[in-house]
Amino acid sequence: MRKPLIAGNWKMHGSRAQAQQLVESIHRGLAKPTAEQIEVLILPPYVYLLEALKFIQHSPLTLGAQDLYLGTQGAYTGCISGQMLVDVGCRYVLIGHSERRTIFKESLSLVAEKFIAAVDAKLIPILCIGETKRERDENKTEAIIAEQVNSVIEVAGIERFQQAVIAYEPVWAIGTGVTASPQNAQDVHAYIRNIIMKNNVDLASTIRILYGGSMKPENAAALLSMPDIDGGLIGGASLNAEHFLAICAAVSNEAAAIKLKKIG
């Protein structure tokens, strides 16, 4: 079974007080049945990880970070290692978010190295991939997706994907209010699963593939009803506890309706 995962990517938002309030509200508002059916993850800015940890230690919420750097320790001013993230209670880390790829010029090879660093630190990497509007208009979506996934498989090896999660986030849908249609997203998710299948048939049926890009309470259930969409990576809507919880509830209703997605 693929347990749906709902992840809140806070990006560079909020203050210490707001972080506290947000985690507390999510923690309090998360209904028990929802928490049993799905996994709920929050990804605060580094400096609020410990703050968040205080509130989630005895809750079903899981903690993760938005990025890491290579290695365990070293002279890398401004960077945080996977080992440090584990040390403060993280279980997940985003790798290759489109904002890292574009604003910070992260190359395919750096993304692959970071993926390895995450797995080696015993973190679960969420590998983010997605095409730009221009690439989509030029019918290059599949080529871009294949390149972003295969470049990591080639360097890291498919074995390192055993626990990994993939997040399909069309760049044109991130923070724009425009969402891929459920069928559109499903087609790309099926394509991604097929790439994994070519490398490891069993893994293709267990790996979780999330959709990200303007997911909101209004569109979450429709997206999540698609057979290859196993959860969401939520940006803007994760900063509002009510909206984030509504998405979690939509997913858990969906999960209940389809009795969770079965293997094979």
Applying CB under 6 A, among 186, 214, 219, 252 the residue interacting with ligand PGA is: 214
- Taking the complex as a whole, the smallest distance from the CB of residue 213 to ligand PGA amounts, in Å, to 5
Compute the least distance from the CB of residue 263 to ligand PGA, in Å: 27
Asked whether position 196 contacts ligand PGA by CB under 6 A, the answer is no
Residue from 127, 174, 185, 207 touching ligand PGA (CB under 6 A): that is 174
Residue 24 CB, shortest distance to ligand PGA, in Å, is 22
Binding residue for ligand PGA (CB under 6 A) from 5, 6, 9, 145?
Answer: 9
CA distance 173 to 62: 25
- Of 99, 106, 169, 254, the catalytic one is 169
- Exposed, middle or buried: residue 55 (CB in 10 Å: 0-12, 13-18, 19+)? buried
Among 139, 151, 224, 143, smallest CA distance to 185 is for 224
Q: Is 213 in the site for ligand PGA (CB under 6 A)?
A: yes
Provide CB contacts within 8 A for 107, sequence distance 6+. Answer: none
**Interacting residue with ligand PGA among 210, 215, 241, 247 (CB under 6 A):** 215
Q: Which residues contact 18 (CB under 8 A, 6 or more apart)?
A: none
Distance CA 9, CA 40 (A): 11
State the binding string over 217-236 for ligand PGA (x if CB under 6 A, else -). Answer: ----------------xxxx
For position 175 contacting ligand PGA by CB under 6 A, the verdict is yes
- CB closer to ligand PGA out of 34 and 219: 219
**Residue 130 or 204 having the CB closest to ligand PGA:** 130
Active site residue 97: yes
Tell me which of 27, 39, 97, 106 is the catalytic residue: 97
Beta strands per DSSP E along 91-169: 92-95, 124-129, 165-168
Interface with ligand PGA by CB under 6 A: which range of 28-36, 54-62, 206-214, 223-231? 206-214
| Residue 212 contacts ligand PGA per CB under 6 A | yes
Could you say whether residue 170 binds ligand PGA (CB under 6 A)? no
Residue written as token pair 């190295």: 113
Contacts of 156 (CB under 8 A, 6+ apart): 112, 115, 116, 119
| Residue 84 CB coordination number (10 Å) | 18
* 130-150 residues labelled b (16+ CB within 10 A) or e (exposed): bbbeebbeeeebeebbeebbe
Based on the shown chain and the rule CB under 6 A, indicate whether residue 247 belongs to the binding site for ligand PGA. no
Given the rule CB under 6 A, which residues bind ligand PGA? 9, 169, 174-175, 212-215, 233-237
Active site residues: 97, 169
